[in-house]
């Protein structure tokens, strides 16, 4: 089920009403949430529910066993059980075909012709998200940062909780599980914050991102035939399409959870207003970047083992972060670009350059955006060949007018994008997060903002596309 | 949630619903008044013009972009209009025909064998008429019949104007053309950039595999039947035609459609291979759309074939 579907518009109010009718018993509320979450997921494909259930079972048991284990080897054993099971699912469903194809290509180059090793596998929606979520649970217990729950219902509900099940935010057990195990309350402030965030999230997704998508899809469907300026314009628009798409999704998720009495962490904090890539990653898909930092970068040694190892760790973390997004060389290169530039920033920071560069600090904004833009080419292109063509075409510097396509659609895109950027700039200048925006206003103003945003959605929404991050 | 918070929630939801409902109605009234002034632009202006003059016309062209950009109606008949619209297909065209009175008229309708035998065609194109959903009963009935109405449109009426507002405002202040001289034909002028893109596409010489299983799409079949009855009851002569394609490899769909239409009372002209023997790139904008030069040649031939006497 999609947040931007008519089904969700019916589904959520029903769940909301039933949920708060059961407010005197949070266990019954959890049962309702679990059932609702499974229905939400099964709407896409009920067969893959079994994967979530198996994954939940394994991690529930592994968590308890790690905690109970009397010695280190036993603890390690159960951690490995969790890692192998979760990464095994991910490996089979997400990466098997990629590695099989890469292996075949390598063999072909060596003169061998192996049989077709690929399998006809469907990628289960949300597997990357809930796998990381369950992994954080067992790793935190192994690190003694968190105690496992003995309540299987709370744990299963935590894993399957529908607002964050298919595309995050990747909420860690330490934040969400304790909330599952106590009575929830809904305050007036949360009502305003949740409603404002949901409608603005919807606007970001179905108005801005989906309108922009038309031009981006047109150009990237055949980059070979368009000039440099068209590809550059499409990439520029894509940078905002993916931002408003994913940030919009996160907004709806965070807002919906808030209306059910749960507080999620912020997932996007105006990432394009960043003076460095390091800052960008503190603001972009924060639940993933902090996950990668805490469970990968730090596990690899972080910056504690000397500067060279730090660079290696950064690069490796970002390469794997890229691979997390999809089983393709494009994503690995995308991660590689980010890792490489992060390492350069680390180098500059470690030397005295950073003091000398202070007067021109403001250049950090356009430079960071340019790097992010270049990397988006690899992220958006369907494969490495297309990405290479796009980069080559951009570097031809054919600065004639870009291809306009449907001029009305392009004008709509520019107008709506401007609106989106102005709104973000307002938040940036006022130093407010969207999560708390609703609380700035009284009931009448909040209702007016929501009503007006709904009107804008009615007047400008575009045909619904799937959320980009569903494919990951 | 205590009683106080529950009441607060009900209050805020009620305020949002009432507020958005009222704003929607204000917007709807405003947009209607703007829309009624628009007589330029594809989605609203052209439709307005057509709905206003439709029952006075003698010759009408309906269909997709391959009707709109390919038939210069003024060269065929003085009292004519081309209501072809980009992206529309059978449902849109048939709905418009069904709004006509019983005045004697000749209708030239573009049909595509590819869509006729498509399994995925579901009549979505009728949504191009959604701006008239709450204002024209015949259009509302067709949209409802095809179940293409947005379920929320009964509450939020402005949904009919989704995506058209900027175009409408632009067309009020900066109309594309003088509608009093406009006959609905929009020639495709190909600039050097587009020509270069077309050359690159044609060089690739990629062809789609032909379909073996050809079953007439049920919506297509439904409308063909309806139009046949409608034309008999309302003094219409409906001529169906298929516009040229740069290099059409699959012939079985054309043949099957021809065979099917032979059983009906429709006249059918298949011009898919019209330029097969004298083809040049300057006749085309892309594989399925003719440049103005190509359209003029086709129009000349259509005029001879249809043979309507001008007043």
CA-to-CA distance for A366 and A239, rounded, in angstroms? 13
CA distances from A81 to A85, A241, B151 (A): 6, 39, 49
> In chain B, pLDDT over 70 holds for what percent of residues?
98
CA distance linking residue A397 with residue A443, whole number of Å: 53
CB of B42 closer than 8 Å to CB of B85: yes
Our CA angle for A175, A178, A179, nearest 5°, is: 85
Q: How far are the Cα atoms of A203, A388, B127, B186, B219 from residue A207, in angstroms, in the given order? A: 5, 31, 18, 29, 31
Contact list, B151 vs chain A (CB under 8 Å): 6
Grouping H, G, I as helix, E, B as strand and the rest as coil, residue A90 is helix
**Alpha carbons within 13 A on the beta-carbon side of A409:** 17
On chain A, the residues whose CB falls within 8 A of the CB of B162 are: 458-461
Residues B130 and B47: their CA atoms lie apart, in Å, by 11
Q: A412 and B166: CB-CB below 8 Å?
A: yes
Query: Where do we find the tokens 């292996």?
Result: A103
Residue B311 has pLDDT above 60, yes or no: no
Q: Looking at the partner chain, which of A6, A226, A411 has a beta carbon nearest the beta carbon of B166?
A: A411
Beta carbons within 8 Å of A292's beta carbon, 6+ residues apart: A317, A318, A320, A321, A324
Distances (CA, A) of A43 to A8, A416, B63: 10, 31, 37
Chain B positions in Cβ-Cβ contact with residue A225 (cut-off 8 Å): 197, 200-201
**Which residues in chain B are closer than 8 Å to A462, comparing Cβ atoms?**
163
Q: Which residues contact A299 (CB under 8 A, 6 or more apart)?
A: none
Q: Which residues contact A307 (CB under 8 A, 6 or more apart)?
A: A346, A347, A350
Identify the pLDDT of residue A464.
58
Confirm if B34 and B168 have CB atoms less than 8 A apart. Answer: yes
CB contact under 8 A, A20 and B15: no
Give residue limits of the domains in chain B: 61-121+180-306
CATH code for residues B61-121+180-306: 3.40.50.1110
Structural contact between residues B220 and B90, judged by C-beta atoms closer than 8 angstroms: yes
Residue B309 has pLDDT above 90, yes or no: no
8 Å CB contact of B20 and A455? yes
Question: What amino acid positions of A are annotated as catalytic residues?
Answer: 325
B43 → chain A, closest CA residue = A408
Closest C-alpha among A126, A120, A12 to residue A466: A126
State mean pLDDT over B44-62.
93
What chain A residue is nearest to B157 in terms of C-alpha separation?
Answer: A458
Q: Given CB atoms, is A450 within the 8 Å cutoff of chain B? A: yes
- Between B2 and B83, name the one with better pLDDT: B83
pLDDT tens digits, B182-214: 999 999 988 887 888 888 887 776 667 788 788
Distance from CA of A46 to the nearest CA of B (A): 25
User: Is the ipTM reported for this complex over the cut 0.90?
Assistant: no
CB atoms A455 and B6 under 8 Å: no
β-strand partners of B81 = B60
Query: What is the predicted pLDDT for the residue at A375?
Result: 95
Distances (CA, A) of B74 to A217, B42, B249: 37, 18, 32
Rounded (5°) CA angle A166-A172-A173: 110
Q: Which two tokens stand for residue A19?
A: 């949920």
For residue A14, count other CB atoms closer than 10 A to its CB. Answer: 10
* Contact across the interface for B8 and A191, Cβ inside 8 Å: yes
User: Residue-wise pLDDT tens for chain A (472 aa)?
Assistant: 888 888 999 999 999 999 999 988 999 999 999 999 999 999 888 888 998 999 999 999 999 999 999 889 999 999 999 999 999 988 888 877 777 777 777 787 777 777 776 777 777 878 889 999 999 999 999 999 999 999 999 999 999 999 998 887 999 999 999 999 999 989 999 999 999 999 999 999 999 999 999 899 999 998 888 888 999 999 999 999 999 999 999 999 999 999 999 999 999 999 999 999 999 999 999 999 999 999 999 988 888 888 888 889 999 999 999 988 888 889 999 999 999 999 988 888 877 776 777 777 788 899 999 999 999 999 999 989 999 999 998 888 777 788 887 777 888 889 999 999 999 999 999 888 988 888 889 999 999 999 999 999 999 887 756 666 666 6
Give me the DSSP letters along B87-124: T--HHHHHHHHHT--SS-EEEEEE--HHHHT-SS--SG
Residues 6+ apart with CB under 8 A from A282: A269, A274, A289
Contact yes or no for A191 and B200 at CB 8 A? no
Residues of B in Cβ contact (< 8 Å) with A228: none
DSSP-assigned letter for residue B241: E
Tokens 């009292």 correspond to what residue?
A: B79
pLDDT at position B113 is 92
Instruction: Output the average pLDDT for chain B.
Output: 90
Which residues of B, range 86-105, sit inside 8 Å of A by Cβ? none
Tokens of B79: 């009292």
Strand boundaries in B6-92, DSSP class E: 59-62, 80-82
**What pLDDT shows up at residue B310?**
58
Position A151 scores a pLDDT of 93
Contact A454 B16 (CB under 8 A): yes
In angstroms, what separates the C-alpha of A146 from chain B's closest C-alpha?
29
């Amino acid at each position: 089920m999609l947040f931007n579907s008519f089904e969700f518009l019916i589904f959520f109010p029903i769940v909301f009403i039933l949920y708060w009718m059961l407010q005197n018993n949070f266990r019954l509320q959890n049962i309702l949430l679990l059932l609702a979450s499974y229905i939400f997921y099964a709407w896409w494909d009920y067969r893959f529910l079994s994967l979530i259930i198996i994954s939940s079972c394994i991690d529930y048991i592994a968590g308890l066993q790690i905690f109970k284990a009397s010695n280190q080897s036993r603890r390690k054993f159960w951690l490995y059980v969790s890692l192998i099971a979760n990464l095994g699912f991910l490996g089979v469903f997400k990466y098997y075909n990629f590695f099989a194809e890469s292996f075949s290509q390598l063999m072909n180059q060596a003169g061998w012709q192996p049989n077709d090793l690929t399998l006809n596998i469907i990628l289960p929606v949300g597997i990357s998200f809930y796998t990381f979520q369950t992994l954080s649970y067992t790793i935190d217990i192994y690190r003694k940062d968190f105690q496992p729950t003995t309540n299987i219902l709370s744990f299963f509900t935590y894993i399957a909780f529908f607002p964050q099940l298919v595309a995050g935010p990747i909420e860690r057990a330490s934040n969400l599980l304790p909330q599952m195990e106590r009575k929830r309350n809904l305050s007036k402030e949360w009502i305003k914050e949740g409603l404002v965030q949901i409608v603005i999230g919807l606007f970001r997704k179905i108005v801005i991102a989906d309108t922009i998508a038309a031009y981006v899809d047109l150009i990237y469907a055949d980059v070979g035939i368009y000039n440099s300026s068209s590809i550059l314009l499409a990439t520029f628009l894509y940078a905002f399409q993916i931002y408003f798409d994913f940030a919009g999704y996160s907004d709806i998720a965070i807002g919906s959870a808030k209306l059910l009495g749960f507080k999620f962490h912020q997932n996007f904090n105006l990432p394009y207003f960043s003076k460095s890539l390091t800052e960008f990653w503190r603001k972009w898909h924060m639940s993933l970047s902090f996950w990668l930092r805490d469970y990968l970068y730090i596990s690899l040694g972080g910056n504690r083992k000397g500067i060279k190892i730090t660079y290696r760790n950064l690069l490796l973390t970002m390469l794997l972060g890229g691979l997390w997004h999809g089983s393709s060389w494009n994503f690995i290169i995308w991660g590689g670009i980010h890792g490489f530039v992060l390492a350069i920033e680390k180098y500059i920071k470690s030397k005295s350059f950073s003091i000398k560069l202070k007067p021109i600090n403001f250049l950090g904004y356009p430079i960071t955006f340019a790097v992010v833009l270049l990397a988006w080419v690899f992220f958006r292109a369907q494969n490495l060949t297309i990405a290479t063509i796009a980069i080559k075409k951009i570097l031809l510097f054919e600065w004639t007018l870009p291809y306009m396509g449907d001029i009305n659609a392009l004008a709509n895109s520019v107008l709506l994008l401007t609106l989106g950027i102005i709104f973000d700039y307002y938040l940036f200048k006022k130093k407010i997060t969207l999560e708390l925006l609703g609380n700035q206003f009284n009931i009448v103003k909040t209702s007016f903002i929501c009503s007006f945003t709904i009107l804008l959605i009615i007047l400008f929404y575009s045909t619904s596309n799937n959320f980009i991050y569903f494919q990951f | 949630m205590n009683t106080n918070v529950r009441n607060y929630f009900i209050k805020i939801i009620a305020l949002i619903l009432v507020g958005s409902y009222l704003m929607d109605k204000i917007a709807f009234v405003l947009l209607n008044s703007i829309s009624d002034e628009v007589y330029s632009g594809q989605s609203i202006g052209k439709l307005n013009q057509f709905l206003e003059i439709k029952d006075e016309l003698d010759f009408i062209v309906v269909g997709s972009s391959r009707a709109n950009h390919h038939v210069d109606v003024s060269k065929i008949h003085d009292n004519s209009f081309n209501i072809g619209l980009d992206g529309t297909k059978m449902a849109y065209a048939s709905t418009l025909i069904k709004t006509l009175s019983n005045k004697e008229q000749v209708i030239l309708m573009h049909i595509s064998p590819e869509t006729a035998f498509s399994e995925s065609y579901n009549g979505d194109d009728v949504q191009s008429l959604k701006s008239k959903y709450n204002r024209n009963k015949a259009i509302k009935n067709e949209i409802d019949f095809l179940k293409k109405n947005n379920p929320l449109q009964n509450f939020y009426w402005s949904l009919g104007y989704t995506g058209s507002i900027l175009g409408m405002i632009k067309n009020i202040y900066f109309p594309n053309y003088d509608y009093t001289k406009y006959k609905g034909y929009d020639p495709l002028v190909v600039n050097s950039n587009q020509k270069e893109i077309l050359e690159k596409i044609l060089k690739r010489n990629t062809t789609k595999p032909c379909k073996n299983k050809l079953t007439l799409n049920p919506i297509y079949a439904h409308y063909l039947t309806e139009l046949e009855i409608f034309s008999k009851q309302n003094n219409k002569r409906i001529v169906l035609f298929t516009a040229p394609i740069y290099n059409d490899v699959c012939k079985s769909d054309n043949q099957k459609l021809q065979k099917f239409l032979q059983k009906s009372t429709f006249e059918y002209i298949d011009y898919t291979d019209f330029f097969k023997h004298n083809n040049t790139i300057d006749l085309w904008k892309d594989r399925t759309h003719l440049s103005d030069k190509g359209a003029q040649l086709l129009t000349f031939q259509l005029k001879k074939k249809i043979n309507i006497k001008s007043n």
